[in-house]
Structure 1
Amino acid sequence: MAHTTERPVREREDASIGELLSAVTSDAQKLFRQEIELAKAEVREEATKAGKAAGMYGGAGFAGYMTALFASLAIVFALANVMDWGWAALIVTAVWAVAALVLYMMGRSRMREVSPKPERTVQTLKEDAEWARHPTR
């Protein structure tokens, strides 16, 4: 069985200050690496949300353009049989503007759910700092 030089601090009654400092530094480095990994995971999660919301914005723009171009023409031609061309075009434009507004509002709602700050990491860092100030609590 391999012999390790790392023992819990409680077992190191005869440990030197250098050994204790080394152990504390090692633990702090491990904690820092774990916090970095947590922050990365949170940022990835929020970036995914932002990507989906941005896709909805893009979808709203594309849908608005395509519907304004093709459906509007077809409906304007159909309405022009019963009213003036100008009124027919205005009615069709208003309908597609409402559709674009609904898609925009949905995208904006999703974008508001995105948090740029890694909340869990901030909380654990605060807890770690509190523990470092008062390790016996």
Structure 2
Amino acid sequence: MHDIRYVEHNGRTLADLIGEIKEEVKEFFETRVSMFIAEMREKIDNSKNGAILAAIALVLGAVGFLMLSVALAALVAVAFWGNPYAWFFGFLIIGLLWTIFAAMLAFGAVRQFRDFAPKRTIQVLKEDKIWLQHEARNQI
């Protein structure tokens, strides 16, 4: 009776075939993992601009708050002189301007972070899936 470990097909044993498949699968996953790591490093480097915009937005938001507290008093006294709501209108106008400016910068920061997913790696994995399905159909 033949032991399956010693049956040869085209000069190769089953153990050789399994070892070759194991190496190919290992190489396949190492390639995909290194591709993922490289793409994520690139994304992180590109996201530094978004972080800078977010920091600027936070600083401008704080400056806006300070402007609401300090500098508006002089503007209100001049622009709405004699009106009982002079201070309210001054605080409202300047506060809205700084808030709009900070929101525009924050929107830019969000746009920088939106494309953080590793698109090339996902595309290659989808192509690999299609290829594997095609190969599986051809082998059956």
In the alignment, the residues of structure 2 paired with residue 105 and residue 131 of structure 1 have an alpha-carbon distance, to the nearest angstrom, of: 43
* CA RMSD, 1 decimal: 3.0
With 68-77 and 55-64 compared, the bigger mean Cα shift is at 68-77
Shift of 1:29: 1.2
Using the size of structure 2 for normalisation, the TM-score is 0.67
Q: Say which of 119, 129, 137 aligns to 1:126.
A: 129
The structure whose residues are more often helix, as a share, is 2
Shift of 1:93: 1.0
- Residue by residue over 1:78-102, the C-alpha shift from the partner in whole angstroms, topping out at 9 and shown as x without a partner, is 3422322332222111111111221
Aligned to 2:10: 13
Task: Specify every segment of 5 or more residues in structure 2 that has no aligned partner in the other structure, as ranges.
Answer: 1-8, 81-85
Aligned to 1:97: 99
**Residue 25 (str. 1) matches residue 27 (str. 2):** no
Using the size of structure 1 for normalisation, the TM-score is 0.68
Aligned to 2:4: none
Q: Say which of 37, 42, 45 aligns to 2:42.
A: 45
Task: Specify every segment of 5 or more residues in structure 1 that has no aligned partner in the other structure, as ranges.
Answer: 1-11
How many residues are treated as equivalent by the alignment? 125
Identity among equivalent positions (%) equals: 18
TM alignment of 1:64-103, pairs within 5 A: 64-70=61-67, 73-83=70-80, 84-103=86-105
With 27-36 and 126-135 compared, the bigger mean Cα shift is at 126-135
In the alignment, the residues of structure 1 paired with residue 66 and residue 56 of structure 2 have an alpha-carbon distance, to the nearest angstrom, of: 15
Shift of 1:70: 4.3
Higher relative contact order (CA 8 A, sep 6+): 1
